[in-house]
Amino acid sequence: MFVLCGFPLSNYYNKVKLALLEKGVPFTEEDVATGEPARAAGSPLGKVPFARTEHGVLCESEALMDYIETRWPTPALLPADPWQRAKVRELTIFLDLHLELVARELYPQAFFGGTVSEKNRERVRALLNKHLAGFKLLAKFSPHVAGADFTQADCAAYVHLPLVALSTQLVLGEDLVATHGIDWKAYVKHVGQRPSAQKVTADRKADQARRTARPS
């Protein structure tokens, strides 16, 4: 049995969960917080997601995505053609590293009551302007990120793009994703019609409601 460990508010957790649901892989979920709980459970850096597999514990979302694709190859979330396969991975790298990881520096102020210095805000703005322009050159949105088919790149785009857009709107006063002509709302609405995306979204909202209702 594949056990996905983490929590439904994590976009990287949901990226992996989307892939599992799309493939119909039987799995269970284990609520594990970041930091010491995750480290004690087998995640070396105390990060989520990680998974318990028949072979042992595996961490890092891209390693999990690769394992899932290889272990359960159908339905495929990567093209068979080597070039097209590489292009999907290229998009996923852009989404993970050049968009979400950069925007993540805004999250303390956007979502957790913290403050990001003006210097860091402007540095993030400059990087995202550069990276979003590059991403737009690669992405097709026809109707999916890499083209006609739903792929691993969509597992990343569906969970990352709304956070990049919202965090820039809240902290920088401008939705930089939309500014670069990327109609992420229409894209998310389209992908959101899939049962897998509906399940991920419903679980995320339920987890957020539970956490909000907890006494401080």
Those residues whose C-beta lies under 8 Å from the C-beta of residue 116, and which sit 6 or more positions away, are 105, 106, 108, 109, 124, 171
Mean pLDDT of all residues in the chain? 97
Cα–Cα distance between 203 and 209 in angstroms, integer? Answer: 10
- pLDDT over 90 at 211, yes or no: no
- In this prediction, residues 52-71 reach a mean pLDDT of 97
DSSP for residue 30: E
pTM: 0.96
- pLDDT over 90 at 212, yes or no: no
Contact 167, 103 (CB under 8 A): yes
Token output for 15 = 């990226």
pLDDT level of residue 1 (50, 70, 90 thresholds):
confident
Those residues whose C-beta lies under 8 Å from the C-beta of residue 184, and which sit 6 or more positions away, are 161, 162, 165, 177, 178
pLDDT in tens, 38-50: 999 999 999 999 9
- pLDDT over 70 at 58, yes or no: yes
- In this prediction, residues 22-42 reach a mean pLDDT of 96
Query: Could you please report the per-residue DSSP string of 154-204?
Result: HHHHHHHHHHHHHHHHHHHSS-HHHHTT--HHHHHHHHTTSHHHHHHHHHH
Contact 130, 123 (CB under 8 A): no
- pLDDT over 90 at 215, yes or no: no
Predicted confidence at residue 163, as pLDDT, reads 98
